[in-house]
A and B are shown apart, each in its own frame.
Chain A
Amino acid sequence: TQLLEQSPQFLSIQEGENLTVYCNSSSVFSSLQWYRQEPGEGPVLLVTVVTGGEVKKLKRLTFQFGDARKDSSLHITAAQPGDTGLYLCAGARKSLTNSGGSNYKLTFGKGTLLTVNP
């Protein structure tokens, strides 16, 4: 069962256009993270949102966490070729370790492959 549905799966746009990527779940998360991954590299953390309704901006990227902490969106304004990459959302939920302590596990969406054409 995919706990985090990410859409769209693929997105190809022209430089200067705006776009929004969505991450939806029926589960509540303690926090949600957005990553960007380039070919042959590991995911790089862009932002973490924690509070329901929270909005964070990172230059031309705007991240929003849903009021109920079940969904999130990433909006890019005036996309540039350098924004090309795989965007991943990941929700954190608390779990118990073998020893009875607590840990947070991440559940990832399948990703949105963004191509920005010059």
Chain B
Amino acid sequence: DAGITQSPRHKVTETGTPVTLRCHQTENHRYMYWYRQDPGHGLRLIHYSYGVKDTDKGEVSDGYSVSRSKTEDFLLTLESATSSQTSVYFCAIKEPGLAGPNEQYFGPGTRLTVT
């Protein structure tokens, strides 16, 4: 258990409304990630953070912004939600593993539906 929680776990919202998803971790990990998972596409990286106020884009960042004002929280914001952003969103943290520095551990996910 990597101590990751996501909120909300489920959300239904209307097109054009802003939405913020929260990822919270309790173990002081430096790296945090946001992914979306869609049928036929697998998991795709949206944004990631490598420290407080340090963020970078992933492969599907258009329409999303992130913020990290403190180590434990990484927020994903959809400024104006669209139906194409209906998805399951996963947060992940990275911690050094014995096998290498690349092991990521995932939260339980947020299912977002944009109507």
Contacts and interface: CB of A to CB of B under 8 A. Distances in A.
Interface of A: 30-31, 33, 35, 40-45, 48-50, 88, 90, 92, 97-99, 101, 103-106, 108-111
B106 A103 contact: no
A42 B2 CA distance: 12
B100 A45 contact: no
Given A92-B102, A101-B50, A106-B45, A41 B40 contact: no
B56 A42 contact: no
A88 B63 CA distance: 26
Contact of B42 (A41, A97, A111): A111
Contact of B54 (A40, A97, A106): A97
Interface residues of B, number: 28
Given A105-B45, A108-B44, A109-B42, A50 B107 contact: no
B42 A103 contact: no
B43 interface: yes
Given A103-B31, A111-B42, A45 B99 contact: no
Contacts of B103: 33, 45, 48
